[in-house]
Amino acid sequence: MPIVLAASVENAGILLALVIMLAAAKILAEVFERLKQPAVVGEILAGVLIGPSLLNWVQPSEFINIIAEIGIIFLLFNVGLETKPQAILDVGKRAVVVAVLGVVVPFIAGYFIAVWWGGSTVEALFIGAALVATSVGITARVLGGMGLLDTLTSRIILGAAVIDDILGLLILSVVSSFSKGSVDYWRLAGTAGLAIFFTLFVAFFGAKLMTRLAPKIENLHISKPFFNAGLILCLGLSFAAIHIGVAAIIGAFLAGMMLAEATEENRKMHKLTSGVTEFLVPFFLVNIGMQLNLSIFKDISVVILAVVITIVAVLTKFIGCGLGAYGLGWKRSAQVGIGMIPRGEVGIVVAQIGLGLAAISEQFFASVLFMAIATTLIAPPFIKILFEGEKAKLEAEQAEKDIHLSDIFSRIG
């Protein structure tokens, strides 16, 4: 077969896979919306349906993984555009407590569950590390769809998720090194310091810099200059985040935060990127569902282990992070706890690293994979229930602020 024709056939196969993924995601999203459930659940289940588990219409591939990664990058970039640095700074202490408890409690529980099941020390450490993970993209997708990213608990969840990613990275680095026989503590300390500095510098100094530069960027002669500058910043900081040692989505989130203060330009940026996000994010969600292979659960012992790990994963995040929000009232504590439950792609990556290092057995790998997807499916409906009525409160508070400001200006006038 000629090279050009072979390439055309391969490209046609990729396009067909994308068509099936997008169509399946949107059809099931519509079904779940009509059932008064979050669309994100339908989009993930679409991946289970069309993937290797059931119909086998589409199989995971390197290309699909890349598209999925870009999708979650743009999702977190959009979330960052709606999150001003000061809003995160205001909940900083609370977010730290939530993140620390949301790491410590699941890690200890995961470790002892694996030991109780007969796993080795290394296996137990990897299970603990997998339970530490948080996939903020899932929660952000649900809250963004409800228009609730500016609530107190949403800001705590976002701030805690950034800290959680740094702590999770360090734990994973220690566990991976331990499985190889040695731990380089100096390198670990350097990575931690760099990650913290990068996050603080970009979020707070970067935002001021971009606010000053925004009018000058808008005066450039190219089409949609601020939008293009934002895309470059988003992808550039995503790359920088990976290079430093944290997830690309943290860089994307911080890039959005850098642009959040430039009010007028931000509004245009958000409008233009929302279309890109709406197109790409379904591939990320469907790809999560496609990772699950139901055939591995023919062994009843694997099913039992998977269910136990999933229950522990749900309870430890809910209790640990909920305790971190203690003092805000039971409902807000529950909102924070449930918002930190999804493990998503982060839990899957930890499991794949453990399997790649031959540090965990197929049984533990399958169980963690199930837990990562199950927690991602379990959380959204509860997020929707617990946050019901919050939008009305948010709008009422904003209206009250507007009336107060109007009263001040009328007195000045």
Give CB contacts under 8 A, 24+ apart, made by 233-241.
233/258, 233/259, 234/73, 234/74, 234/77, 235/73, 237/202, 238/73, 240/198, 241/198
**Structure-block tokens of residue 159:** 């701030």
Measured distance CA(213)–CA(219) in Å, rounded = 10
Query: Alpha-carbon distance 212 to 205, whole Å?
Result: 11
Q: What is the DSSP string of 41-100?
A: HHHHHHHHHHSTTTT-SS---HHHHHHHHHHHHHHHHHHHHT--HHHHHHTHHHHHHHHH
The CATH code belonging to domain 59-412 is 1.20.1530.20
What's the CA gap between 255 and 259, in Å, rounded?
Answer: 7
Q: For the whole model, what pTM was predicted?
A: 0.79
Please state at what angle helix 248-259 crosses helix 152-180, rounded to 10 degrees.
Answer: 150
CA angle 281, 239, 171 (to 5 degrees): 90
**Both structure tokens of 375:** 């927690």
Q: How many CB atoms lie within 10 A of CB 296?
A: 18
Dump pLDDT digits (tens) for 59-71: 989 999 999 999 9
Q: Which regions of the chain are under pLDDT 70?
A: 1-9, 182-184, 263-264, 391-413
Domain chopping of the chain, boundaries? 59-412
Model confidence over 208-259: pLDDT tens digits? 888 888 888 888 888 888 889 999 999 999 999 888 877 788 888 889 888 8
Query: 97 with 321: CB under 8 angstroms?
Result: no
